[in-house]
Amino acid sequence: MSTKRIEKIVGKAIPMPRDDIDTDRITPARFLKSITFEGIEKALFCDERENTPDHPVDNPAHKGANMMFVGKNFGSGSSREHAPQALKRFGIEVLVGVSFAEIFAGNCFAIGVPLGVASADDVNELIRQAQEEPETRFNVDIRNSTVSFGDRVIPIEIQETRKAAFLAGTWDMLTNLRSNLPQVEEVAQHLPYVTNFENDAQ
């Protein structure tokens, strides 16, 4: 599996202003039954969308958007990776928000979706801009940790180690982990429970 460098994302944005949007809302549990991620983008916010005629995801003005602006604690709850997968397959390449749940953030990193954290005021400005002028082209610059539109440049925080991995194209962790397999064996040998304490380890 080769991975790609992620340096810059340019495009329109979908504004999702609410806080505490959990993964049950992003992809309702009944969609977890599929055995591939294929088509999971159809599940994206589907219950809310059904009950909300003008849901931002369905708003034709945001069609073709490749980023999403979100509130606080986005992606809380269940660890399901279907949520970031649905976002990615829907076409979302980066999210900017006030904060993200930890497991969700890890899952996004694992599939190469950067998350940017900005102050509540700045995120509100981004959300307003995307709501009021949905055609705005936003520019997320991973290297410089900014999101900009027009003359406005907003600083975002991207976890340092993840940022480095996106820029270097080494975010696919599996390749890194596999290169240490000999050391894995060694650590296992020193853990007495690996043999169910049958041998004196150490």
Partner 1 sequence: MSKNTLYDKVWDSHTVARLDSGQDQIFIGLHLIHEVTTPQAFGMLKEIGAGVAFPGRTMGTVDHIIPTLSQIRPYEDEQAEKMMAALEQNVNEFGVRFLHLDSGKQGIVHVIGPELGLSQPGMTIACGDSHTSTHGAMGSLGFGIGTTEVGHVLATQTLALNRLKVKRIEVTGALGPGVTPKDVTLRVIHDLGIKGGLGFAYEYGGDVFDAMSMEGRMTVCNMSIEGGARIGYVNPDQTTFDYLEGREFSPEGEAWERGLAYWRDIASGDDAEYDDVYEIAGESIEPMVTWGINPGHSVGISQPLPEVNSFSGEDRNTAEHGYEFMALNPGESILGTKVDVAFLGSCTNSRISDLREGAQLINGNKVHPGVRMLVVPGSQQVKQQAEEEGLHEIFTEAGAEWREAGCSMCLGMNPDKLVGAERSISTSNRNFIGRQGSPRGRTHLGSPAVVVSSAIAGCIADPREMGEQA
Q: Which residues bind partner 1 (CB under 8 A)?
A: 1, 18-20, 22, 24-25, 28-30, 32-37, 47, 50-51, 71-73, 76-81, 84, 98-99, 101-103, 106-107, 110-111, 120, 160-162, 164-165, 168, 170, 173-174, 176-178, 180-181, 183-184, 187-188, 190-194, 196-198, 200
C-beta of residue 23 within 8 angstroms of C-beta of residue 78: yes
Between 19 and 141, CB nearer to partner 1: 19
Between 79 and 139, CB nearer to partner 1: 79
Place of tokens 């005021």: 121
CA 153 to chain centre: 22
Between 20 and 157, CB nearer to partner 1: 20
Alpha-helical segments (H) within the chain: 23-26, 46-51, 82-90, 102-110, 120-132, 160-168, 173-178, 181-189
DSSP type of residue 62? G
Minimum CB–partner distance for residue 138 and partner 1 (Å): 23
